[in-house]
Amino acid sequence: MCDACIMRTVAAKLGRRGVLAAVAAAAAAPAMAQPVRTAGISRVVDLTHALSPSFPTFGGSPAIEMEQVNVLAKDGYNMHRLSYVEHVGTHFDAPLHFSAGGAPVDAIPVAQLVCPLVVLDVRAKAAAEPDYQVTPEDIAAHEASHGRIPQGACLALNAGWDAHVGTPRFRNADAGGKLRFPGFRPDVAPLLLGRGAAGVAVDTLSLDHGSSPDFAFHVAWLGAGKWGLECAANLGQLPATGATIVAGAPKIAGGTGGPGRAIALA
Amino acid sequence: MCDACIMRTVAAKLGRRGVLAAVAAAAAAPAMAQPVRTAGISRVVDLTHALSPSFPTFGGSPAIEMEQVNVLAKDGYNMHRLSYVEHVGTHFDAPLHFSAGGAPVDAIPVAQLVCPLVVLDVRAKAAAEPDYQVTPEDIAAHEASHGRIPQGACLALNAGWDAHVGTPRFRNADAGGKLRFPGFRPDVAPLLLGRGAAGVAVDTLSLDHGSSPDFAFHVAWLGAGKWGLECAANLGQLPATGATIVAGAPKIAGGTGGPGRAIALA
């Protein structure tokens, strides 16, 4: 927006509000309208679903309890008390979740939460086989087309599963209660460790596929000191490479992970 | 890191792990090592304090309750149940916190959470007068030196208060229990609305100064549909202008705000 346009916009807004002090301060400021600092960002994509009691969970319990403890009309402000177990909604896994002595979520270095984002599209395979496990060969094929996964990256698995979040297909429980959704095959973990990746993301309820008997990918990946993001949204809006994820893990002292805010800058 | 260095690192790591499938996949990948995608980012600054039960709160109660509900040795993983009221730790205020019908935290458009960050240094005034209220004249003086606050910005108040977070000085309660720390004078709100700012941040417990009788800045700012961040950390590590804040507000459906992850890219 040009300087003059900004001045007109500001003048219009101030005029509508009629706040003389603000107008005086605005007049005193030099006409050095700065461009919005975008750091090369042209698009912001929210990778986070809204968390409500009905959000699907691995175990099937309500995801969160909310109780309004302050009400505007009586107290002058609104406020709730929240209660939940850490691994609900669009949430992070810290190393401590699956390893004795692993880093809690507050100890993940913040620089490891801002990562080149590589998005692996396995929608077709996931549609054909809900319990699909992504293989080292899938990674190799992606790299052949899009280049090597860079040091410090987050590899995100786009199984198209966020489209199912409001339906039983998201948990996809079979008659015996076993869940069926895609995840990483455990031998992808050493490959990504070799690449120096910092994190992984899935749009399903677990880094391991739904009917995993042993959570072997969790054990290998988190056990190596890396982080994970589960129930990511909107991965389909991103390019295969070139975006950046700002992985807003909650900074709870001693936590094993938890709901946070994951945002992609493209 | 050069291609050959990366290949050596990968080979060393994979060798140690002895995972043949991963080695095969690595060999199949083209040697197209990409530079880390930084989107112009050279530095990541964590604006978030770790949240623990002892983190200071406005009301003086423990900030959070954590109960370990799953233990690795018994269950195969670690997990806690968390319980807290929304406005603890480094946390966000949504319009709903102080306005009837205001947007809940999950309804703040994500693009308004990625903002040019303007840092106003009031450390000297805050050290001299703990209950200091930032004025429109302070903003004007900052703009005279650093240029106009850009459209969509977050204005952050660096009162140097994060240095007090582990001491009674953070709440700074007087003999009568009234808190004394800096905040925004209410008439700053219309000025910032005129600038088209999206959010504000403080390194203290409240957008209003500690002994505010009426939370008038909260009412004006949140009532206008804007967001706030309280108890920010490390603002002193940032330039007056030029950084970007990724304001990772929690996406809790219907929430009035809550602990999140605020990260600055400089």
- The larger pLDDT score, comparing residue A207 to residue B32, is at A207
Residue pair A205/A177 in contact by the 8 Å Cβ criterion: no
To the nearest whole percent, how much of chain B has pLDDT over 90?
84
The alpha carbon of residue B146 is apart from the nearest alpha carbon of chain A, in Å, by: 9
- Residues A63 and A52 sit within 8 Å (Cβ to Cβ): yes
Out of A79, A86, A244, the one facing B97 most closely (by C-beta) is A79
| CA B60 to chain centroid | 21
DSSP state of B102: P
Tell me the shortest Cα–Cα distance from A159 to chain B, in angstroms: 21
Burial class of B68 by CB neighbour count within 10 A (0 to 12, 13 to 18, 19+): exposed
Q: What is the pTM of this model?
A: 0.87
Asked if A31's CB is within 8 angstroms of B148's CB, the reply is yes
CB atoms B89 and A25 under 8 Å: no
In this predicted structure, what is the pLDDT of residue A13?
Answer: 33
> Amino acid identity, residue B12?
A
Per-residue 3-state assignment (H helix, E strand, C coil) for chain A: CCHHHHHHHHHHHHHHHCCHHHHHHHHHCCCCCCCCCCCCCCCEEECCCCECCCCCCCCCCCCCEEEEEECHHHHCCCEEEEEEECCCCCEEECHHHCCCCCCCHHHCCHHHHEEEEEEEECHHHHHHCCCCEECHHHHHHHHHHHCCCCCCCEEEEECCHHHHCCCCCCCCECCCCCECCCEECCCHHHHHHHHCCCEEEECCCCCCCCCCCCCHHHHHHHHCCCEEEECCCCHHHCCCCCEEEEEECCCECCCCEEECEEEEEC
Domain boundaries, chain B: 1-32, 64-265
What is the mean predicted confidence (pLDDT) over B215-222?
98
Q: Which residue of A has its CA nearest to B106?
A: A50
CB contact under 8 A, B255 and A66: yes
Q: What pLDDT score does A1 carry?
A: 32
Which residue in chain A has the smallest CA separation from B1?
Answer: A151
Mean pLDDT (chain B, rounded)? 88
- Label residue B27 by pLDDT band (50, 70, 90): very low
Q: Is the pLDDT of residue B18 over 70?
A: no
Give the full edge-to-edge strand order of the sheet including A44-46: A44-46, A261-265, A243-248, A114-121, A154-158, A199-202, A227-230, A91-93, A257-259
Tokens, residue B117: 């960050």
Q: Which residues contact A111 (CB under 8 A, 6 or more apart)?
A: B44
Of the listed ranges A11-20, A105-114, B51-60, B188-197, the one predicted with least confidence: A11-20
Amino acid letter, residue A205: L
B220 or A42, which is more confident? B220
Which phi and psi (to 5°) does residue B257 adopt? 140, -155
Per DSSP, what are the bridge partners of residue A66?
Answer: A82
What is the residue-level pLDDT of chain A in tens, covering all 266 positions? 333 332 333 233 333 333 333 333 333 333 332 333 345 688 999 999 999 999 999 999 999 999 999 999 999 999 999 999 999 999 999 999 999 999 999 999 999 999 999 999 999 999 999 999 999 999 999 999 999 999 999 999 999 999 999 999 999 999 999 999 999 999 999 999 999 999 999 999 999 999 899 999 999 999 999 999 999 999 999 999 999 999 999 999 999 999 999 999 99
| pLDDT score, position B13 | 33
Nearest neighbour of A187 by CB, restricted to B19, B256, B259: B19
Structure tokens at A71: 């009400």
CA distance B169 to B180: 9
Which residues in B lie closer than 8 A to residue A151 (C-beta atoms)?
1, 6, 36
CB contact under 8 A, A25 and B218: no
Question: Residue B17: pLDDT above 50?
Answer: no
**pLDDT tens-digit profile of B124-165?**
999 999 999 999 999 999 999 999 999 999 999 999 999 999
pLDDT-derived band at B95, boundaries 50, 70, 90? very high
Residue B162 carries which DSSP code?
G
What is the average pLDDT across B96-119?
Answer: 97
Task: Test B113 with A259 for CB contact under 8 angstroms.
Answer: no
| B216, closest residue in chain A (CA to CA) | A76
A147·B96 Cβ contact <8 A? no
- The arrangement of secondary structure in B64-265, i.e. its CATH architecture, is 3-Layer(bba) Sandwich (3.50)
pLDDT of residue A4: 34
> Residue B39's pLDDT is what?
54
